[in-house]
Amino acid sequence: MKTYLDCIPCFFKQALDAARLAGADEIVQRKVLISLANELENFSLDSCPPQMGKFIYNRVRKITQKEDPYKKIKEKSNKLALGFYPELKEKVKIAEDSLLFSLELAIAGNIIDYGVKHSLDVDKELDNILAEENEAIRHESKAIFNYSEFAKELKKSQDILYLGDNAGEVVFDRILLEEIKRMYPNKNILYAVKEKPIINDALAEDAYMCGIDKSAKIISSGCDSPGTILSICSKDFLERFKSADMVISKGQGNFEALYKKSKRKVFFLFMAKCPVVAADIGCNIRDIILLYGF
Amino acid sequence: MKTYLDCIPCFFKQALDAARLAGADEIVQRKVLISLANELENFSLDSCPPQMGKFIYNRVRKITQKEDPYKKIKEKSNKLALGFYPELKEKVKIAEDSLLFSLELAIAGNIIDYGVKHSLDVDKELDNILAEENEAIRHESKAIFNYSEFAKELKKSQDILYLGDNAGEVVFDRILLEEIKRMYPNKNILYAVKEKPIINDALAEDAYMCGIDKSAKIISSGCDSPGTILSICSKDFLERFKSADMVISKGQGNFEALYKKSKRKVFFLFMAKCPVVAADIGCNIRDIILLYGF
């Protein structure tokens, strides 16, 4: 996805939030904003938004001199999400369509990120997302939800590559991957995480902490931007991305990085968190999306 | 009021909105954003936010080469607001406390601004603001509403200076000024407008178009920022500001420019439109405020 001018005010908001979450004082926060302002003229709108995300968080890291300023937040998210795991597994068991329900959960997991950052009541938010009587009725009301294609591709694919998003929500990905493994025990699943700390994106340590290794092999994308930007991924990862029978991309960051930037079809699973993305694909903010496209 | 770091993302949003409202294309919009970015390092947080507003709109004016890019929007606002005038005058007549009701209306007039910019249903919004049974009950629920001080000061003041805000809402100011004149026909009221076009702020032509001259003398503050910044007002205006028995400052822009920056007590009448202002004075966003202070 390209960067829209509307993303620019939001970059400044993200930079301020990032500096604050890293514990920076007001002087340092201002420095981060000014360094972003000074970069603006050089930034091409043809770049995807996570490219600027990478710049912002590298500045925060450099100016605050903290290698992984969000480490504690990530751990907190993992613990919070793991607390929901047993109850959610029970819900999957009694769901009419457990694959569809697991997909919804995986997307709903995005709110863990919101929850930790904005003190949302995660429990209540999950209830809201799963409010309709059952997943089939919810499915009907969704703007973009290519579920039948997903089920069909899943059935015939042997090698599946899943691109993780944030710490914490990894637990929700795990539930989906466990459901896939329950249905198709012989499929090979790779779960890709970021190579280096970038905001609260999941690293290998988060994936292990959240128990992903029970159903998938954890690999690194080689990339350290908040979204899988192919041009900075490792050669090894790019080969796997190309050769996988099915790619599932999780979260808005990965969508922003890959949508209209990749030569292969991908299942994009995410919650549309901002008006720019919502307008780009034609949905409402906070819609949960399963989009099969390039 | 000082500028908070949280105002910075909002400056970029304002600049983008301003450029778009002025009919600028994407290339020009980007230019406006970059010129703001380049200014950021020089901008002191001790300045009030309208100081940056002045910079932004001067850039929009210069880059778009339009002297008054919001002229049509202002005319549209004036006409829209004049359409409400007869009905609102009837409502004032039957109000239990017509002064209090007129004050509420004057603040509610702020949404004309919102309405024109964001296609709000102004009629419905007015109904929402005036939803409670009567103005006395509404008064009780307000966070900051120094009404008894207002009524007391009004009674004993002979020379009243009223600082106007945006075009359109001038009609709502007029209803308040007419109510004051009905109660106290001998008071002298000055209605101050901006000297030169600045966003959709009311100029003398808007005040005349909205009929302010029927109850007040229209003067210029000498200032061309979206808020009355005393350091750039005319000498003549400053004398009147100092000597007036009572000053009523309308709108958030004037509040941002004058609050904690003036040596005299002022009645600030406005709707708190942003989280920064709301946090600064301790109210909720969209609260209607009558604050008596320096």
Query: pLDDT tens, position by position, for chain B (294 residues)?
Result: 999 999 999 999 989 988 988 889 999 999 999 999 999 999 989 899 999 889 888 888 888 888 888 898 899 889 988 998 999 999 999 999 999 999 989 988 877 765 555 555 667 767 766 665 566 666 666 779 999 999 999 999 999 999 999 999 999 999 999 999 999 999 999 999 999 999 899 999 999 999 999 999 999 999 999 999 999 999 999 999 999 999 999 999 999 999 998 889 999 999 888 899 999 999 988 888 999 999
Is residue B176 within 8 A of residue B105, CB to CB? The reply is yes
Residue A266's H or E segment, with its range, is strand A266-271
pTM score of the predicted model: 0.84
Q: Sheet harboring B217-220: ordered strands across?
A: B217-220, B188-193, B159-163, B246-250, B266-271, B288-293
Strand partners, A266: A293
Compute CA distances B186 → A224, B161, B215, whole Å.
71, 14, 11
The DSSP symbol for B3 reads: P
Residue B176's H or E segment, with its range, is helix B170-183
A34 min Cα distance to partner chain B (Å) = 6
Please write the tens of the pLDDT for every residue from A177-226. Answer: 999 999 999 999 999 999 999 989 999 999 999 999 999 999 999 999 99
Compute CA distances A216 → A115, A171, B197, whole Å.
26, 13, 63
Which of A39, A41, A42 has the most B C-beta neighbours within 10 Å, making it the best mutation to test the interface with B? A41
Which is nearest to B262 in space by CA: B48, B7, B54?
A: B48
Which of A8, A29, A37 is the closest to B5 by Cβ? A29
Helix A122-129, helix A110-118: angle, nearest 10: 150
Residue of B nearest to A41 (CA): B34
Which of A4, A8, A36 has the most B C-beta neighbours within 10 Å, making it the best mutation to test the interface with B? A8
Contact between A9 and B10 using a beta-carbon 8 Å cutoff: yes
Q: Residues near B287 by Cβ (< 8 Å), separated by ≥ 6? A: B142, B143, B144, B271, B272, B278
Residue A271's H or E segment, with its range, is strand A266-271
Residue of A nearest to B17 (CA): A6
Contact between B37 and A37 using a beta-carbon 8 Å cutoff: yes
Is some CB atom of chain B closer than 8 A to the CB atom of A27? Answer: no
Is some CB atom of chain B closer than 8 A to the CB atom of A217? Answer: no
Q: ipTM of this model?
A: 0.82
